[in-house]
Structure 1
Amino acid sequence: MADEYVGSIVLELDGRELEVVDADIQTTTGRKLVKTMNKTGRAKGFSRGIAEFAINLSVVVPLDGDLDWMAIEGAKLTLYPLSGSGGKRTSYLDCFTTDVGAKYTVDSEARRDIKMMALREVIE
């Protein structure tokens, strides 16, 4: 079986596509350990919770001007498979910004490090 890789990552914001250089996505299941007072001294099980999607992005600052990165709400992040691989796209919907940082290096373009949360994950 051949390995499949992500081809490109695009952040869509108000009909505009922004170049994503780096993405780190962490999914928390929301499950929690249930501790009870019993004679065995062990936990009895777990409870189901609400999944959370935390996203850390590095984006290139567009040539036509910097954006108000702190005001991002309702954005869509899409991970596209390599063309011809037959893989499925994964999208994170209703993304909103929680933190923004700036990064400047000698050999590269100006970037913004953005921490976001997403409300939904959709595998298309």
Structure 2
Amino acid sequence: MALTEYQGCIVMEVDGQEIDIESLDVSEKTGRKLVKTMNKTGRPRGYSKGISEITIKVSAVIPVTGDLDWVSIVGAKITVYPVGGGARTSYLDCFTLEIGKKYKVDGEAMQELSMSALRKVVE
């Protein structure tokens, strides 16, 4: 049986600037909706197409100097690529929706970011 290699760490870039992050969560909604109709089977008949959504949640450390102005990010390109090589994924036309900060007794200060992207491209 051959060994299988899996993706490990990733690097995140925002408009070409590398960002130190702790975690990155990307979720994509297809926009499809279940269509319920009145019929003798008592089951839905299909689905309708809708508008897809891409949501990105980032936990980034807060540096003493040189932090990005996360609030004013509009139209950014976020690129995620595996450290060991492999296909990069870029999220285009990203913008910030929400920012929160988290402070702990034992650990670095973190900022929790919620962003949206209009397109996804696998390079």
Q: TM range, normalised to the smaller chain?
A: 0.7 to 0.9
Task: Please give the alpha-carbon distance, in whole angstroms, between the structure 2 residues aligned to 1:7 and 1:66.
Answer: 22
Residue identity over aligned pairs, in percent, reads 50
State the TM-score, normalized to the length of structure 2. 0.84
After superposition, what is the alpha-carbon deviation per residue over 1:59-93, rounded to whole angstroms, capped at 9, x for unaligned? 1223325543222212222221232x5x2111111
Partner in structure 1 of residue 114 of structure 2: 115
Partner in structure 2 of residue 103 of structure 1: 102
Q: CA deviation at 1:36?
A: 1.3
User: What is the number of equivalent residue pairs in this alignment?
Assistant: 121
Contact 1:7–1:79 (8 Å) recurs in 2: no
Task: Please give the alpha-carbon distance, in whole angstroms, between the structure 2 residues aligned to 1:111 and 1:72.
Answer: 18
SS class of match (1:70): helix
Task: Please give the alpha-carbon distance, in whole angstroms, between the structure 1 residues aligned to 2:42 and 2:52.
Answer: 29
Contact 2:13–2:80 (8 Å) recurs in 1: no
Q: CA deviation at 1:49?
A: 1.7
Which of 6, 9, 15 aligns to 1:7? It is 9
Contact 1:103–1:110 (8 Å) recurs in 2: yes
The one-letter amino acid paired with 2:100 is G
CA RMSD of aligned residues (A): 1.9
State the TM-score, normalized to the length of structure 1. 0.84
Q: CA deviation at 1:122?
A: 0.8
Would you identify which runs of 4 or more consecutive aligned residues in structure 1 move more than 6 Å?
none
- Segments of structure 2 that go 5 or more residues without pairing to the other structure are none
Contact 1:73–1:94 (8 Å) recurs in 2: yes
Partner in structure 2 of residue 31 of structure 1: 32
The one-letter amino acid paired with 1:20 is I
Task: Please give the alpha-carbon distance, in whole angstroms, between the structure 2 residues aligned to 1:78 and 1:68.
Answer: 18
The one-letter amino acid paired with 2:35 is V
